[in-house]
């Protein structure tokens, strides 16, 4: 039997060290692990390197809390609510480093790590100026297909120190299920060195027996399991609650005025008793 | 329900909708409220039948129930999906040449259809840090027809983009269809150059050219994009009752 | 709307040409697409090249029907029922070519094809004599990781002409669900040029709405959908019927005596009205 | 229920079971009725608690309900799995160094622990076409402890395998644990050579050596593998009521 991994937010946050690279679940305004992000802010984590495909609210909150040294993402956006209110400014001021990536290459890098490989090729990409950026950063290299001789971009494995994924339900060992859109979360779980699952519901393993579907994570992948009902708020949780766009817009307005911290403490941390 | 009078944004929706063909595999990404409305318009007003996929990982949603939200990537926009189809799965299909249509935005676009979603100014010292190209650089070489929507002015339609996020030239040199719907016109990027294919009602060739930072080719009289009719406008409003499509200020 | 792909076994079998490379669903004695294999035998297909990770009954039936020119597999076994009764003999007699592969490399090759790539690296493998076989066959090449310089095996994409997968339920467009063990079937669906789904049940698309899980195939992947209840018999179908080991042992005994064809016609083809 | 008298096959089951440790991640493949029984024995008789995964894509099955069948890859062997965990997923974990124990068969094995599951004779002109190594070549370099089960005779334990399917030497040179349970003995492959660690009851060092095609090292008196006791035998029979384990003729 694998060991029980149940932990509080405060205990699980100890798995993330200052300076760690981190990736989170969801997309812009959906299924971000906001409870855990609150815990990271509360714990005062610094110098995190944030990696994701299409992040939104969770990323800007970490940026506003001063937790980040760098970001690697294919797109960082507040969608109809405009540019990332805080991150945009920090990047423009040169206070946070930003490495722009592209979706297929992020996926290829995560796949390489998930499959225990040093690199993966990716189709497309050639011809974009992103290639220069990444060759300089040492994250991509243009190689030749050993069979056809064709030029192709090789993406170095992206193995975040920690993945934090908010799921629908999970047993104490880390067998979890995400419902609805997955984005790359099942891949992130497999690519990261450490995995923290926050879940709307903790279930008995027996409740997962006879489930005819694949698990989003297994006990072997997971280091901590945290019960965090409502843990994606104000982002959406498929089947359970919609995005709270009023709260997101409110955050955006505070952040544009440089008062994100107020909102984070008054509205987000307070929800978790901090 | 607000005014049924079509605005330039609504004409953009129809312009994009008309570029979707029967039987195609169509995918939209983030901040794509206008493409979502174009897909709904193509389905309901133009009767086009295609495979509807999206960054919200929906598949064949009940189109009548589609509603745009401030995010086009969440579970709210396209309910009642047939199972879940991940974006990874769709991108793999694209890499195998099986995705026909994808929509992209652009902060800048040049005469080759190269797009910039990365930065205004230099990458190292950004004037404006843009959101990033998302799948742009990955999908530009892979998808059969790329439909771009953007504002029609000289800050957007530029001689030279500050950063080549989307490799339009790569596409155009290989004869892959690359089209741009602005709030004034429909432009197709070709080996010969950007061709002015159609105009919004009341926009002249001269105005379209004056607001472009590159030379438009006009090999034949551009057609006029008829604005959505009353039924079309009712459909657009049904899918966007709050008028979120106007937030991007295309008019 | 994608087009309807409903077809009879006889119509779907036209998608497989003589000489095609083919992969099938399941493993040894589980979820083999036996109905479709019966159709291939009935149609008299020849010179097929069979690719799979751990095939069993379906492969030997095709071998016994004289349908095969070659096989690429990591293991071909009748498990406790011994060596493959027919295939073993055909390979020993040099009448069917056999390229032995290894599980991780088969997966890597299928992944390459599924991701639209020319090749994929794979961990492990080095040090096995399989490397010589595949370098000679042109299917693997030892390359260096472009980032670390480490030696690694590159596997050329494995893109079968046809994948035939027996699933639990499917709509007319090809949106299908497999329950229980997947083996590599979802990957095979994505790697092959053409895909045929045979299903226990054809369902309305509406019955798949609100399904919070990922589909095993989508309409974009699939070329034909065949209703074939009991279509895995005598191999097992998770949740529906167990393997019919008596029938499998009976086949094995016939095959060992060189009378496989009798069993195939009397017991398998007859089930499908042939 | 048949005789509770343990046979060599049952001793092999216990020999393998004792090599599974608490907290490990353990996976079995095809034709692995004996490893399945070893896992059940380790769980129920030895009280070992580990993560049970398998080629049947089960996860943490209810061990009491495990029943061996002619196939160890189908849904019948390990019912009531906690969800489905694919073999691909487990192999990826192995590639990341997260799988502790895997079982492999061998038609031939040499003093380095190199195994042959490919061919007797030459690959081009086979005398016997064997099933193939399955995951052997892939997993040999990746899994922490590899447990091999095989017949103890000079046709199996050979000076030189006809084909190196499993790269035992690669493992042994890197100090990775590689052990062999036969129907006579337990042998560990080490940098110094194959060490005779234990013997079945009634088997002498001389007999074990005489039936081996390579020289066994005997640095200390090999222990005797106590056969399963009555409770152990009842457990084995409960999981294999038809005695399928004896079909492979290990005695």
| DSSP codes joined into one string, B82-132 | BSB--HHHHHHHHHTT---EEEEE-SEE-TT--EE-SEEE-SSSEEEE---
Q: CA–CA separation, D59 vs D57, rounded Å?
A: 7
pLDDT at D2: 65
Q: CA–CA separation, A184 vs A107, rounded Å?
A: 8
Q: Return the axis-axis angle of helices D87-95 and C103-114, rounded to nearest 10°.
A: 100
Name which of A1-5, A123-127, A203-207, C23-27 the model is least confident about. A1-5
Chain A nearest C-alpha distance from C118 (Å):
7
For chain D, the straight-line distance linking the first and the last C-alpha, in angstroms and rounded, comes to 18
Residue C10 three-state SS: helix
Instruction: Please check whether residues C140 and C213 belong to one and the same domain.
Output: no
Q: Which residue of A has its CA nearest to C214?
A: A180
| Cβ neighbours of B125 in A, within 8 Å | 94
Q: Which residue of C has its CA nearest to A210?
A: C180
Instruction: Please check whether residues A131 and A25 belong to one and the same domain.
Output: no
Cβ <8 Å between A180 and C212: yes
| Cβ neighbours of C190 in D, within 8 Å | none
Cβ <8 Å between A119 and C146: yes
Cβ <8 Å between D82 and A211: yes
Q: Which residue of C has its CA nearest to B142?
A: C116
Q: Which of C145, C180, C239 sits opposite A119 (nearest CB)?
A: C145
H or E stretch covering A91 = helix A87-92
Chain A nearest C-alpha distance from C111 (Å):
10
Instruction: Please check whether residues A133 and A184 belong to one and the same domain.
Output: no
Instruction: Please check whether residues C237 and C163 belong to one and the same domain.
Output: yes
Interface partners of chain B (CB pairs < 8 Å, 3 or more) are A, C
Cβ <8 Å between C215 and B83: yes
C259 touches chain A (CB under 8 A): no
Q: What are the beta bridge partners of residue A6?
A: A225
Q: Which of residues 203-232 of C touch D (CB under 8 A)?
A: none
| Cβ neighbours of D138 in C, within 8 Å | 102-105, 122-125
The number of residues in chain C equals 274
Instruction: Please check whether residues C170 and C236 belong to one and the same domain.
Output: yes
Chain C nearest C-alpha distance from D228 (Å):
23
Q: Which residue of A has its CA nearest to C182?
A: A214
Which phi and psi (to 5°) does residue C264 adopt? -60, -45
Taking the CB of residue C238, how many other CB atoms lie within 10 A of it? 23
CA atoms within a 13 Å half-sphere pointing along the CA-CB vector of A182: 25
Instruction: Please check whether residues A64 and A130 belong to one and the same domain.
Output: no
Domain membership flag for residue A22: yes
Cβ <8 Å between A128 and B139: no
Q: CA–CA separation, C117 vs C132, rounded Å?
A: 23
C1 touches chain B (CB under 8 A): yes
A134 in Cβ contact with A74 (< 8 Å) = no
Q: Which of residues 86-125 of C touch B (CB under 8 A)?
A: 114-117
Q: Which of D75, D127, D135 sits opposite C74 (nearest CB)?
A: D135
Domain membership flag for residue A170: yes
Q: CA–CA separation, A66 vs A53, rounded Å?
A: 21
A175 touches chain D (CB under 8 A): yes
Q: Which of A125, A183, A243 sits opposite B138 (nearest CB)?
A: A125
Cβ <8 Å between D134 and C92: no
Mean pLDDT (whole number) for D215-233 = 97
Cβ <8 Å between A115 and D92: yes
Instruction: Please check whether residues C48 and C138 belong to one and the same domain.
Output: no
Cβ <8 Å between A119 and C116: no
Domain membership flag for residue C4: no
Domain membership flag for residue C165: yes
CATH number for the domain including A54? 3.40.1080.10
A123 touches chain C (CB under 8 A): yes
Domain membership flag for residue C113: no
Cβ <8 Å between C100 and D75: no
The pLDDT > 90 percentage for chain B reads 99
Domain membership flag for residue C65: yes
Q: Which of A100, A183, A235 sits opposite B118 (nearest CB)?
A: A100
Chain A nearest C-alpha distance from D213 (Å):
37
Taking the CB of residue D28, how many other CB atoms lie within 10 A of it? 27
Cβ <8 Å between A117 and C121: yes
Q: CA–CA separation, A46 vs A67, rounded Å?
A: 4
D178 in Cβ contact with D189 (< 8 Å) = yes
Q: How many domains does chain A have?
A: 2
> What's the domain range around A218?
9-101+158-272
Interface partners of chain D (CB pairs < 8 Å, 3 or more) are A, C
Instruction: Please check whether residues A192 and A262 belong to one and the same domain.
Output: yes
Q: Is the pLDDT of residue B1 over 60?
A: no
Query: What confidence tier does D1 reach under pLDDT thresholds 50, 70, 90?
Result: low
Domain membership flag for residue C1: no
Cβ <8 Å between A27 and B30: yes
Q: Is the pLDDT of residue D98 over 60?
A: yes
Q: What are the beta bridge partners of residue D223?
A: D198
pLDDT at A1: 75
Q: What is the mean pLDDT of chain A?
A: 98
Residue A75's contacts (CB-CB under 8 Å, 6 or more residues apart) are A53, A54, A103, B30, B117, B131, B132, B133, B134
Burial zone of C124 (CB within 10 Å; 0-12 exposed, 13-18 middle, 19+ buried) = buried
| Cβ neighbours of A213 in D, within 8 Å | 83-84
| Cβ neighbours of A3 in D, within 8 Å | 23
Instruction: Please check whether residues C27 and C77 belong to one and the same domain.
Output: yes
pLDDT digits (tens, 9 = 90+) for A198-246: 999 999 999 999 899 999 999 999 999 999 999 999 999 999 999 999 9
Residue with tokens 């027809």, as numbered in its chain = B145
D238 in Cβ contact with D41 (< 8 Å) = no
Does ipTM surpass 0.95 in this model?
yes
Q: Return the axis-axis angle of helices A103-114 and B87-95, rounded to nearest 10°.
A: 100
Classify residue C230 as left (phi > 0), alpha (psi -120 to 50) or beta: left
Q: CA–CA separation, B243 vs B241, rounded Å?
A: 6
Q: CA–CA separation, D241 vs B134, rounded Å?
A: 58
Instruction: Please check whether residues C147 and C163 belong to one and the same domain.
Output: no
Structure tokens, A84:
């990332």
Suggest the residue from B42, B82, B144 to mutate for an interface test with chain C (most C CBs closer than 10 A).
B82
Q: Which of A146, A168, A212 sits opposite C143 (nearest CB)?
A: A146
A156 touches chain C (CB under 8 A): yes
Chain D nearest C-alpha distance from A264 (Å):
37
H or E stretch covering A73 = strand A68-73
Q: Do chains B and D touch (3 or more CB pairs under 8 A)?
A: no
pLDDT digits (tens, 9 = 90+) for A11-58: 999 999 999 999 999 999 999 999 999 999 999 999 999 999 999 999
Q: CA–CA separation, B104 vs A92, rounded Å?
A: 24
**CATH number assigned to the domain covering D8-248:** 3.40.1080.10
Instruction: Please check whether residues C173 and C267 belong to one and the same domain.
Output: yes
Cβ <8 Å between C218 and B89: yes
pLDDT digits (tens, 9 = 90+) for B77-134: 999 999 999 999 999 999 999 999 999 999 999 999 999 999 999 999 999 999 999 9
| Cβ neighbours of C220 in B, within 8 Å | 25, 51, 53, 93, 98
Q: CA–CA separation, B50 vs C125, rounded Å?
A: 44
Q: CA–CA separation, D28 vs D61, rounded Å?
A: 13
CA atoms within a 13 Å half-sphere pointing along the CA-CB vector of C173: 21
Q: CA–CA separation, B45 vs D177, rounded Å?
A: 68
pLDDT at B2: 65
Cβ <8 Å between D131 and C29: no
Mean pLDDT (whole number) for B179-201 = 98
3-state per-residue secondary structure call for B39-76:
HHHHHHCCCCCCEEEECCCCECCCHHHCCCCCCCCCCC
Instruction: Please check whether residues C207 and C243 belong to one and the same domain.
Output: yes
Taking the CB of residue A83, how many other CB atoms lie within 10 A of it? 19
The secondary structure of residue C174, as a DSSP letter, is S
Q: CA–CA separation, B41 vs B49, rounded Å?
A: 11
Domain membership flag for residue C106: no
3-state per-residue secondary structure call for B196-236:
EEEECCCCCHHHHHHCCCCCCECCCCCEECCCCCHHHHHHH
Q: CA–CA separation, C226 vs B240, rounded Å?
A: 40
Suggest the residue from C163, C177, C214 to mutate for an interface test with chain B (most B CBs closer than 10 A).
C214
pLDDT digit string (tens) for chain C, length 274 residues: 789 999 999 999 999 999 999 999 999 999 999 999 999 999 999 999 999 999 999 999 999 999 999 999 999 999 999 999 999 999 999 999 999 999 999 999 999 999 999 999 999 999 999 999 999 999 999 999 999 999 999 999 999 999 999 999 999 999 999 999 999 999 999 999 999 999 999 999 999 998 999 999 999 999 999 999 999 999 999 999 999 999 999 999 999 999 999 999 999 999 999 9
Q: CA–CA separation, A104 vs D3, rounded Å?
A: 60
Residue with tokens 């994608």, as numbered in its chain = C2
C128 touches chain D (CB under 8 A): yes
Interface partners of chain A (CB pairs < 8 Å, 3 or more) are B, C, D
């Amino acid at each position: 039997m694998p060991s029980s991994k149940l932990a509080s937010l405060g205990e699980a946050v100890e798995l993330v060290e200052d300076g760690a690279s981190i990736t989170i679940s969801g997309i812009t305004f959906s299924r971000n692990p906001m409870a855990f992000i609150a815990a990271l802010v509360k714990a005062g984590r610094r110098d995190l390197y944030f990696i994701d495909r299409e992040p939104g609210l969770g990323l800007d909150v970490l940026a506003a809390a001063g937790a980040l040294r760098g970001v690697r993402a294919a797109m960082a956006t507040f969608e109809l609510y405009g540019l990332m209110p805080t991150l945009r400014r920090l990047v423009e001021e040169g206070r946070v480093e930003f490495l722009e990536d592209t979706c297929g290459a992020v996926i290829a890098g995560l796949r390489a790590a998930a499959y225990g490989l040093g690199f993966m090729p990716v189709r497309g990409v050639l011809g974009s100026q992103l290639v220069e950026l990444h060759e300089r950063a040492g994250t991509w290299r243009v190689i030749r297909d050993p069979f056809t001789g064709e030029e192709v971009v090789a993406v170095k494995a992206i193995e975040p120190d920690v993945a934090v994924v908010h799921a629908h339900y999970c047993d104490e060992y880390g067998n979890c299920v995400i419902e609805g859109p997955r984005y790359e979360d099942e891949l992130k779980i497999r690519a990261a060195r450490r995995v923290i699952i926050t879940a709307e519901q903790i279930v008995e393993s027996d409740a997962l027996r006879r489930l005819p579907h694949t698990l989003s994570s297994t006990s072997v992948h997971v280091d901590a399991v945290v019960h965090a009902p409502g843990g994606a708020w104000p982002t959406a949780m498929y089947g359970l609650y919609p995005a709270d766009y009023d709260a997101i817009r409110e955050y955006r307005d505070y952040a544009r005025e440089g008062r994100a911290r107020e909102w984070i403490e008054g509205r987000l941390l307070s929800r978790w008793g901090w | 329900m607000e005014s049924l009078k079509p605005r330039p944004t609504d004409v953009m929706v129809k312009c994009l909708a008309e570029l979707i063909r029967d039987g195609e595999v169509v995918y939209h990404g983030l901040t794509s409220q206008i493409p979502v409305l174009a897909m709904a318009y193509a389905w309901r007003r133009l009767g086009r039948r295609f495979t509807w996929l999206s960054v919200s990982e929906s598949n064949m949603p009940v189109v009548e129930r589609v509603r745009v939200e401030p995010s086009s990537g969440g579970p709210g926009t396209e309910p009642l999906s047939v199972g879940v189809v991940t974006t990874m799965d769709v991108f793999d299909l694209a890499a195998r040449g099986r995705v026909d249509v994808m929509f992209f935005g652009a902060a800048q676009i040049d005469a080759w259809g190269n797009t910039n979603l990365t930065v205004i100014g230099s990458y190292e010292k950004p004037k404006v840090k843009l959101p990033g190209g998302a799948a742009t650089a990955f999908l530009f070489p892979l998808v059969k027809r790329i439909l771009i929507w953007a504002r029609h002015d000289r800050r957007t339609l530029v001689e030279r983009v500050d950063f080549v996020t989307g490799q339009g030239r790569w596409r155009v040199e290989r004869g892959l269809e690359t089209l741009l719907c602005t709030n004034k016109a429909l432009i197709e990027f070709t080996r010969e150059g950007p061709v002015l294919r159609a105009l919004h009602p009341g926009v002249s060739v001269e105005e379209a050219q004056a607001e472009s930072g590159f030379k438009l080719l006009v090999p034949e009289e551009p057609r006029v994009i008829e604005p959505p009719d009353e039924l079309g406008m009712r459909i657009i409003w049904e899918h966007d009752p709050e008028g979120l499509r106007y937030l991007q200020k295309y008019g």
